[in-house]
């Protein structure tokens, strides 16, 4: 071995390398990409997810979690995710997850209801759910305030918020047979529905809300009159039986009808939420309103049974007013009870109409005091008459009674009192009373006693006659029988004499033959003398 360094083996030398700050292994690329995709999906889900809402219903009939849909205009906008019973067990709370597009539908006045098959008095709805199952319907609200918890409706709303038309308020004494969804008619054409009703705060009436569809909402004007059109309206009055109804639906379920009064202008179209009065019937609704009215007072001595407010005031067949009120009062001066009848007279009804479109004010409108004074002086009086014998209804008839006692109107009283006369029935009752009084004065007892005596005498006479007949039977009858027997014998002999083969008959026939031959000889002689009158002097010639 040598000590030469070149002979020693070479030893590698370490070379320093700078360390990298950050490096990614290929193994981690796939998890990182998956995480990024998952994050994007989660973010997209969060950003696209719609609101979650809760709805309170009375029960969960037909609803199933994860299956029941929420629909707006028959478009799915969500799904029911959970159904829970409330803590007080008064209702169920339905949780629904909606789509992002449904967020703008959730306002404070948004309404939800369960759509299922329903049969009402005037419609059948929800038949499609028999196959698809029930779902939750939505009516989008319009208020700017958002809301996430709602109270569900028990029945579908009759009108949705996007339906074209107008809402109106009606004030009535009672609801009658109306209900939510009841039809509204204009001249018997359905134009809307009842959408809601509630009792007034004071409890003295009912406020109804109706919806009139466009374009029929333009028919609701300032002078429109609304009335109950429920069932069949039958009235029996002085003019006979009247029957009125709007449709078969209104007969069964009821409804509301309206139109302007026939004698007036319809007036301008009114805006929505205008309030009207709902009258009990068509007659009350279309009664002339706003015309001039003159009020008078009448006092009758007979019974007022059958006379009611609204009864007509008639002047020779023309209705010129109506009875306003019937009451009773105590007269301190005479210390008697009196029965005043307050009437309204419409002087416009007595207006003259000379030609179409031309009207002239009546004297009753211009100078009612002067006119009535003259009429009363001529016997103008008020009288009660029967409008219908079956129902006993009465009405007030104004007419002239020349024999009525003189009377005058005291215009210082308010209202003025018009004179009256007793009615025809009262006259008949008075006449019958007079007849009864006269009959009461007749001595029926004395007449009865005399009649008894006469009957006794007559009975005695009849007994005597009976005895006489018996005597005639005993003495006269046998002789009469003998006479009849002799008469029969005589008739028998006469029959034998007049028989055909009797000798008398044969002799009579021979005699008649001789008389006939003699008559023939006389005729021959007369004929010969007629031809030879000279034979009376000369005699008959041989050749003749």
What is the distance between the alpha carbons of residues 307 and 395, in angstroms, rounded to a whole number? 6
Average pLDDT over residues 95-117: 89
What is the distance between the alpha carbons of residues 258 and 286, in angstroms, rounded to a whole number? 9
Question: Residue 289: which residues within 8 A CB-CB, separation 6 or more?
Answer: 261
Task: Categorize the per-residue pLDDT at 257 as very low, low, confident or very high, splitting at 50, 70 and 90.
Answer: very high
Query: What token pair was written down for 26?
Result: 């290929």
Q: For residue 420, which of 301, 540, 328 has the smallest C-alpha distance?
A: 301
The larger pLDDT score, comparing residue 355 to residue 490, is at 490
Given a cut of 80, is residue 388 above it in pLDDT? no
Sign of the torsion formed by the C-alpha atoms of 367, 371, 376 and 377: positive
Q: In Å, what is the CA distance from 258 to each residue of 75, 126, 219, 266?
A: 37, 31, 9, 12
Question: Residue 30: which residues within 8 A CB-CB, separation 6 or more?
Answer: none
Given a cut of 90, is residue 204 above it in pLDDT? no
pLDDT (tens digit, 9 = 90+) per residue, 390-433? 677 888 999 999 888 898 888 888 899 999 988 766 556 566 66
Given a cut of 50, is residue 354 above it in pLDDT? no
Q: Are residues 55 and 93 in contact, defined by beta-carbon separation less than 8 angstroms?
A: yes
Bridge-based pairing of strands 165-172 and 275-279 is: parallel
Given a cut of 80, is residue 353 above it in pLDDT? no
Global pTM value: 0.53
Q: Are residues 215 and 138 in contact, defined by beta-carbon separation less than 8 angstroms?
A: no
Displacement of CA 3 from its chain's centroid (Å):
145
Q: In Å, what is the CA distance from 94 to each residue of 52, 136, 137?
A: 11, 10, 13
Query: What token pair was written down for 322?
Result: 């109506």
pLDDT in the model for residue 247: 52
pLDDT (tens digit, 9 = 90+) per residue, 505-521? 677 777 878 778 877 87
Displacement of CA 178 from its chain's centroid (Å):
15
Q: Which residue in the block uniquely carries the two structure tokens 């039958």?
A: 234
Question: Residue 204: which residues within 8 A CB-CB, separation 6 or more?
Answer: none
Q: Are residues 139 and 157 in contact, defined by beta-carbon separation less than 8 angstroms?
A: yes
Q: Which residue in the block uniquely carries the two structure tokens 């009247």?
A: 242
Displacement of CA 500 from its chain's centroid (Å):
94
pLDDT (tens digit, 9 = 90+) per residue, 19-65? 555 555 666 777 877 888 887 777 766 666 788 999 999 998 889 99
pLDDT (tens digit, 9 = 90+) per residue, 231-253? 555 555 545 555 555 555 555 55
Most confident option among 222-236, 361-375, 522-536: 361-375
């Amino acid at each position: 071995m040598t000590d030469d360094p070149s002979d020693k083996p070479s030893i590698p030398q370490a070379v320093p390398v700078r360390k990298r700050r950050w490096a990614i292994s290929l193994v981690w690329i796939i998890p990182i990409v998956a995480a990024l995709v998952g994050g994007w999906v989660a973010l997209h889900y969060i950003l696209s997810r719609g609101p979650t809402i809760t709805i309170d219903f009375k029960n969960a009939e037909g609803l199933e979690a994860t299956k029941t849909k929420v629909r707006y205009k028959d478009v799915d906008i969500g799904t029911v995710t959970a159904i829970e019973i409330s803590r007080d067990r008064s209702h169920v709370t339905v949780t629904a997850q909606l789509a992002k597009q449904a967020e703008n539908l959730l306002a404070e006045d948004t309404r939800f209801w369960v759509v299922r098959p329903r049969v009402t008095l005037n419609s059948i709805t929800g038949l499609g759910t028999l196959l698809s199952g029930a779902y939750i319907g939505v009516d989008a609200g319009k208020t700017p305030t958002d809301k996430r918890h709602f109270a569900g409706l028990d029945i579908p709303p009759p009108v949705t918020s996007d339906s074209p038309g107008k809402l109106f308020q009606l004030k009535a004494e009672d609801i009658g047979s109306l209900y939510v969804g009841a039809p509204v008619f204009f001249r018997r054409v359905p134009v809307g529905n009842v959408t809601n009703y509630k009792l007034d705060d004071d409890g003295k009436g009912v406020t109804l809300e109706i919806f009139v569809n466009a374009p029929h909402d333009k028919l609701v004007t300032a002078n429109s009159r609304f009335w109950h059109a429920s069932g069949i309206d039958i009235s029996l009055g002085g003019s006979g039986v009247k029957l009125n109804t709007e449709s078969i639906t209104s007969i069964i379920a009821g409804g509301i009808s309206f139109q302007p009064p026939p004698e007036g202008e319809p007036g301008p179209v009114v805006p929505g939420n205008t309030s009207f009065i709902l009258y009990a019937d068509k007659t009350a609704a279309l009664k002339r309103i706003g015309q001039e009215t003159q009020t008078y007072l009448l006092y009758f001595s007979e019974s007022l049974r059958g006379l009611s407010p609204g009864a007509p005031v008639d002047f020779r067949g023309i209705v010129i007013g109506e009875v306003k009120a019937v009451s009773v009062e105590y007269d301190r001066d005479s210390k008697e009870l009196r029965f005043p009848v307050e009437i309204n007279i419409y002087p416009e009804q007595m207006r003259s109409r000379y030609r179409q479109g031309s009207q002239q004010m009546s004297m009753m409108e211009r100078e009612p005091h002067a006119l009535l004074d003259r009429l009363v002086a001529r016997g103008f009086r008020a009288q009660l008459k029967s409008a219908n014998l079956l129902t006993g209804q009465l009405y007030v008839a104004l007419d002239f009674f020349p024999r009525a006692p003189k009377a005058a109107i005291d215009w210082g009283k308010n209202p003025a009192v018009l004179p009256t006369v007793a009615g025809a029935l009262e006259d008949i009752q008075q006449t019958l009373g007079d007849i009864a009084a006269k009959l009461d004065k007749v001595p029926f007892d004395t007449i009865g006693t005399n009649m008894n005596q006469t009957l006794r005498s007559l009975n005695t006479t009849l007994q005597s006659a009976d005895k006489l007949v018996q005597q005639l039977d005993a003495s006269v009858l046998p002789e009469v029988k003998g006479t009849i027997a002799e008469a029969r014998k005589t008739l028998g002999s006469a029959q034998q004499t007049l028989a055909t083969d009797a000798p008398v008959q044969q002799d009579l026939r021979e005699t008649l033959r001789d008389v006939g031959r003699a008559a023939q000889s006389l005729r021959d002689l007369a004929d010969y003398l007629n031809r030879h009158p000279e034979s009376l002097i000369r005699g008959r010639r041989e050749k003749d």
